[in-house]
Amino acid sequence: MKDSDQALPNGVHATGGPKTAQKTAQEGTDTGTTPAIIPQSLPPSETVHHPPYTFNTSSTGGLPLHLATHLRQVAQKSQIRLQTDIKRSMCKRCSTVLVEGKTSRQRIENLSKGRQKAHADVLVILCGVCGAEKRFPTNARRQMRKSERLLVQST
């Protein structure tokens, strides 16, 4: 056995690495050349694949932000309308997923004179990331479509 092949403290072999994780091709022969190192398979705990990037899975950024932005871009590119509940759950300005209590706050406003008109209530959703406001009427009756109004007037 050569001097360079001697075991060092902590089970490290002089030719490199722990002796349990690798073995030499020419162990025990003295040819004067450095033996080739053939790696053995590592235990499953040491072979975990880590992606070159990781997404932050918090609700204020990372993967939710990336997926919401991607959803909006795909819908615009393919000219597909998103459902209203999906559109209302994303910020229009920064594409953050709006989660009540974490990334957004909700309140009801009534800016009518003295708050007397019940049909003037407006739900205001405030984005906690960029500060954008989304406003939705709550009690107002929607106007009929023009074609329906014309049918009602003509009869």
Distance between CA 91 and CA 88 in Å, rounded? 7
- Alpha carbon separation from 138 to 112, 123, 124, 133, 142 (Å, rounded): 14, 6, 10, 15, 10
97 lies in some domain:
yes
What is the tens place of the pLDDT at every residue in 109-142?
988 887 778 778 899 999 999 999 999 888 878 8
Same structural domain, 97 and 141: yes
End-to-end Cα spacing for the chain = 108
**34 shares its domain with 87:** no
68 and 133 housed in the same domain: yes
In the predicted model, is pLDDT for residue 18 greater than 90? no
Domain assignment of residue 32, given as a range: 1-40
Whether residues 84 and 140 fall in one domain: yes
100 and 29 inside one domain:
no
Whether 31 and 98 share a structural domain:
no
Residue 127 included in any domain: yes
Longest dimension (CA), the chain: 108
Give the percent of the chain with pLDDT over 90: 32
Q: What is the pTM of this model?
A: 0.51
pLDDT band at 72 (very low <50, low <70, confident <90, very high): very high
Question: Is 46 part of any domain?
Answer: no
Q: Say whether both 29 and 73 belong to one domain.
A: no
Domain identity same for 36 and 67: no
Examine the domain organization and report whether 10 and 70 are in the same domain. no
Overall number of domains in the chain: 2
Rounded Cα distance, 106 and 127, in Å: 9
Q: What share of the chain is helix, strand, coil (3-state, %, to 5)?
A: 30, 20, 50
Q: What percent of the chain has pLDDT over 70?
A: 61
What is the predicted pLDDT for the residue at 90?
A: 92
The pLDDT value given to residue 65: 86
Same domain, 69 and 138: yes
Residues 80 and 140 reside in one and the same domain: yes
Question: Does 104 fall in a domain?
Answer: yes
